[in-house]
Amino acid sequence: MRTLKLTVEYDGTDFCGYQAQGKGERTVQSVLSEALAILSPREELALYGAGRTDTGVHALGQVVSFHTESGLPIDRWAIALNSLLPPDVSVARAEEADEGFHARFSARQRHYRYLVWTRRTRSAVWGRYSLHYRRPLEIEPMREAAKLLIGTHDFASYARGGGNPGMTTVRDLRRLSVRRMSNGLLISATATGFLRTMVRNLAGALITVGAGEMPPDALTEILNLRDRSRNPIPPAAPHGLCLLRVDY
């Protein structure tokens, strides 16, 4: 029995997220499972993904692990899988991992980025990968607000549905930064782990501050409420988000 670690890229536009709730939806995991079933037809593989990205969210460094009895040499897996996968998903790397490796539970930290396109006119190329926000955004208040949110906090106010009942909503947000790019902004977020929709909720909150609709410390007030239903800011749209890398 071997443990394999795949680094997976996808354009999330036409996927119902990494892993769907319902049946019959096109998810990254279902598409990967189909390709693996052709490659190793004599076993039923259980796939574990590092981040359960939402519908429309992209990835350049999703990590997926599984156990297999297949004897296929390690340097053949990526090429073989890519020949079976559709163009909007690819396996960048396949590696042999330690027996106890688990893409989700072994992860030390996850890096996401959120792109905001602020040019007045939309982009024909970056439209799939960025939120188009037409009004000007002030970067300094966004940076000030980002600094206030960094650290170990209860992020229930920034989690979809306020988190799962009975599970902690405390997370260690290690980086939240805002950088200017040509025609837009790049928000970077790193944490040991994120709650559901947390990065999009943080991005939406920073954009609200950048637009001058709230002062930076309003985000701390929202944080301290520990209640998603009292956070008036909607999450930023999924297509601006990308899972960049997972560290182990």
**Annotated catalytic sites, by residue?**
54
- Tell me how many residues contact its own copies (CB under 8 A): 24
- Measured from the CB of residue 6, what is the shortest distance to its own copies in angstroms? 10
Segment 84 to 113, residues that bind its own copies, using CB under 8 A: 87-93
For residue 204, the minimal CB distance to its own copies (Å) is: 23
CB of 223 to its own copies, least distance (A): 33
Smallest gap from residue 128 Cβ to its own copies (A): 8
Residue 75 DSSP class: G
Please name the helix (run of DSSP H) or strand (run of DSSP E) that holds residue 36, with its range, or none: helix 28-39
- The shares of helix, strand and coil residues in the chain, as percent rounded to the nearest 5, are 30, 30, 40
DSSP state string for 134-201: -S---HHHHHHHHHHH-EEEE-GGGSGGGS-TTS--EEEEEEEEEEEETTEEEEEEEES---TTHHHH
- Pattern 110-149, its own copies, x by CB under 8 A: ---------xxxxxxx-x-x--------------------
Pick 58 or 153: Cβ nearer its own copies: 58
Structure tokens at 157: 């106010």
Q: Using the minimum distance from each CB to its own copies, give the nearer residue, 7 or 157.
A: 7
Distance CA 78, CA 89 (A): 12
Q: Which residues bind its own copies (CB under 8 A)?
A: 9-11, 58, 60, 78-79, 82, 87-93, 119-125, 127, 129
